[in-house]
Amino acid sequence: MSTVKSINVLFLCTHNSARSILAEATLNHLGKGRFKAFSAGSNPRENQQPNPLALKILEKAGISTEGLRSKSWDEFGKLDAPHMDLVITVCDNAAGEVCPYWPGQPATAHWGYADPSETSGTDDQKLEAFRQTLHAIRRRLDLLVNLPAAGVDKLMLQTKARDIAKS
């Protein structure tokens, strides 16, 4: 009986407090072990924490927030870091930055989302912005997790992840 290796996916944003956190938690929820998600920021603030509204909307959706924390992408460039198969930027700032060298040269894609933490208005309006962002992320992740299990190589992963960005 052969063991299928999980596909490691790293979601990048600037601060690693909202969109990348939503994507990490959601893919770990949907991926059922076939996918293992991580997230990081290019420039997290000192003592950065996941946005409380991101955690609240994940919990309302029945998605675990256990272990979520904001971290720098430097953690994933180290020799002992998990090997990434796919790196997806989820904000335009991170997409335009020069990324560190990722061991193994993983496939890359950009899935842009507006920053829900920049929404002004009532608490309900802010929470709704996070809910809409989670919904948009989940739509794309549903497509990713439904790729055929057999024969997913780096080129297919990159092509499909970039195609999904258009959906």
Q: What range defines the domain where residue 82 resides?
A: 7-159
Residue 166 resides in a domain: no
Residue 167 resides in a domain: no
Catalytic choice (13, 21, 22, 109): 13
pLDDT in tens, the chain (167 residues): 445 678 999 999 988 999 999 999 999 999 988 999 999 998 888 888 999 999 999 999 999 999 999 999 988 888 888 999 999 999 866 555 566 667 778 888 899 999 999 999 999 999 999 999 999 999 999 999 998 876 677 768 878 888 898 87
* CATH number, domain with residue 32: 3.40.50.2300
Residue 33 resides in a domain: yes
Torsion over CA: 125, 133, 40, 52 (sign) = positive
Among this protein's residues, is 68 annotated catalytic? no
pLDDT (0 to 100) of residue 95: 52
Catalytic choice (30, 61, 99, 145): 99
Among this protein's residues, is 13 annotated catalytic? yes
**Do 26 and 60 meet the contact criterion of CB atoms below 8 Å apart?**
no
Residue 165 resides in a domain: no
pLDDT (0 to 100) of residue 4: 64
Catalytic choice (87, 91, 134, 141): 91
Residues 6+ away with beta carbon under 8 Å from 26: 37, 58, 63, 134, 137, 138, 141
Distance CA 76, CA 102 (A): 7
The total of structural domains in the chain comes to: 1
Residue 11 resides in a domain: yes
pLDDT (0 to 100) of residue 148: 81
Among this protein's residues, is 99 annotated catalytic? yes
Full-model pTM: 0.90
Residue 115 resides in a domain: yes
Residue 154 resides in a domain: yes
Residue 44 resides in a domain: yes
